[in-house]
Structure 1
C-alpha cells in the first residue's frame, strides 16, 4: 500500500539546509511529513579530520539508521560532503536514500540537453559536483555525450538577495566563454533562492538539488510520474 503522507527525513549539517529543503518540499512534495535531523558539527569535524574518516561515516550511518528505523519512508542528505555514505546506506536499507544533488544530476543527464553548466559560489562545490556528474555519466555509458561547463563566483556567496546573487552567477557563466549552454545546475542548496532570478536573466532552465530531490521522492513514494524533467 502506498503511503499518502510519507515521513521524509532530511539530514542536515547546517541549519540553513533545513530551511531550503523544507521550502522545496512544501512546493514540490506537500503531502510529505518532514522530519529534520541536524548535526551541526558534521562539517567542522570533517574539516578537522581532513575528510571523512571511519568515525564520521559511522556517525552519519547512525543518523540514517535512526531515521529509517523510526519510520522514515525516504531520506535525503542535504550536505554533499557526506554523499559517499549513501552508497553504504543503500546496502543496509531498502527505503530511498538520496544524496543531496543526485536527483538534480540524474534529471539533467536524462533530459534533452547535452550542454549543461554547473554554477557554484564556494570552491569545494565545483569538484564535488564534477565528480558526481562523472560518476553518473559513467553509469550511463553508451548514451549521448554531455558537455559540462563549471562556473565559480565567490562574490555570489556574499551577495545581497537573489537578484544580485543571480547577476554574479550569470557573470561567472559568461566568463567561461561557453555560448551554447542549455541548462544550469546549482551546485549548492544555498543558491536555490536565486534560481528563478538566474533563469530569468539567462532565459534558461535552472535546476536546484532540493527541489529535484523532493520531486524524485514524491514520484517514488506516491507512485506517480515525476514532473521534474528539465524545464524547456
Structure 2
C-alpha cells in the first residue's frame, strides 16, 4: 500500500535543477515528501569524458541504490545526460524511475499536437530530446504522425531574467520556423522559469519536464480516492 505522503527522491547534477524541480513538485504533487540528492560533479565529469563512461554509470547507479535503500516510492533523475541509466535501474528495482523529460514527451505525444517544437539553450540537449521523442512514437503514437522542429537559443543560456530568456527562445524558434508549432517543449530544466513568458509571447502551450514528471508520479503514487458511500435511503 502506498503511503499517504509518498517519499520521492530526485537526483540532480546541477544545483539549479534542485530548486526548479522542487518548485514543480510543490505545485503539482504537494503531498509528496521530496528527498533531494545532489552530485554537482556528475555533469562536469560527463562533459570532460565526452559522455557517460562505465564508471559514471556505476556512480549514478550507486546514488540510485542509496535512495532505494532509503525506502523511496518514486525517483526522478533531473539530468538528461544520465537518462540511459534509468533503463538499467528499471531492471533492478520495482519502483517508478523517470527520466528528466520523459513525462513531458509522453504528454506531448498523447496530446492533440501535430507539430511540436523542441527548444534548448545548449547544443547537446536538442538531439537528445529528439531521440527520446522518436523512440516513444512507435508505442505511443503509431498511427498519428508528429512533425518535430528544433531550435537553439544559446543567448538564453545563463540568463537570469525569465522574460529576457523567453525573448531569446522566441527569437530562436521564429528563426527556425518553430513559432507556429502547436506546442513548445523545453529541453532543459534551466529554461523552466521562462515557460510562462514564452507561452505568452508565442500564444501556444509550453511544456516542461519537471511539472510533467511531478504529475505522472502523483498519478502513480497517490492513493486512489475511496468510492463514495451512497446515502442511506429512508424506508417509505
Q: Which has the larger radius of gyration?
A: 2
Equivalent residue of 1:21, what SS? helix
Trace 1:52-67 onto structure 2 (pairs within 5 A).
Answer: 52-67=52-67
Matched residue, 1:205: 205
Once residues 66 and 135 of structure 1 are traced to their aligned partners in structure 2, the CA distance between those partners, rounded to angstroms, is 29
Once residues 22 and 70 of structure 1 are traced to their aligned partners in structure 2, the CA distance between those partners, rounded to angstroms, is 19
Matched residue, 2:185: 185
Once residues 11 and 108 of structure 1 are traced to their aligned partners in structure 2, the CA distance between those partners, rounded to angstroms, is 24
Matched residue, 1:47: 47
Matched residue, 1:24: 24
Deviation at 1:134, TM superposition (A): 1.2
How many residue pairs align between the two structures?
225
Deviation at 1:167, TM superposition (A): 0.7
TM-score, normalised via structure 2 length: 0.92
From the superposition, tell whether residues 116 and 141 of structure 1 become closer, same or farther in structure 2 (CA, over 3 Å): closer
Once residues 171 and 102 of structure 2 are traced to their aligned partners in structure 1, the CA distance between those partners, rounded to angstroms, is 26
Matched residue, 1:94: 94
Deviation at 1:102, TM superposition (A): 0.2
Once residues 59 and 167 of structure 1 are traced to their aligned partners in structure 2, the CA distance between those partners, rounded to angstroms, is 38
Once residues 224 and 153 of structure 2 are traced to their aligned partners in structure 1, the CA distance between those partners, rounded to angstroms, is 37
Matched residue, 2:161: 161
Trace 1:1-232 onto structure 2 (pairs within 5 A).
Answer: 1-140=1-140, 142-178=142-178, 180-223=180-223
1:105-158 alpha-carbon deviations (Å, 9 max, x no partner) = 000001111110011111111111111111111333622000011111100114
1:74-130 alpha-carbon deviations (Å, 9 max, x no partner) = 000000000000000000011100000000000000111111001111111111111
Kindly indicate whether the alpha-carbon contact (under 8 Å) linking 2:110 and 2:140 is maintained by their aligned counterparts in 1. Answer: no
Kindly indicate whether the alpha-carbon contact (under 8 Å) linking 1:218 and 1:224 is maintained by their aligned counterparts in 2. Answer: no
Kindly indicate whether the alpha-carbon contact (under 8 Å) linking 2:150 and 2:178 is maintained by their aligned counterparts in 1. Answer: no
Once residues 158 and 71 of structure 2 are traced to their aligned partners in structure 1, the CA distance between those partners, rounded to angstroms, is 39
Once residues 190 and 104 of structure 2 are traced to their aligned partners in structure 1, the CA distance between those partners, rounded to angstroms, is 15
Once residues 142 and 35 of structure 1 are traced to their aligned partners in structure 2, the CA distance between those partners, rounded to angstroms, is 37
Deviation at 1:4, TM superposition (A): 1.3
Between 19-28 and 129-138, report the one with greater CA deviation.
129-138
TM-score, normalised via structure 1 length: 0.93
Instruction: For structure 1, list consecutive stretches of 5 or more residues without a partner in the other structure.
Output: 226-232
Q: Which ranges of 4 or more aligned residues in structure 1 deviate by more than 4 Å? A: none
Instruction: For structure 2, list consecutive stretches of 5 or more residues without a partner in the other structure.
Output: 226-236
From the superposition, tell whether residues 179 and 206 of structure 1 become closer, same or farther in structure 2 (CA, over 3 Å): closer
Deviation at 1:223, TM superposition (A): 4.7
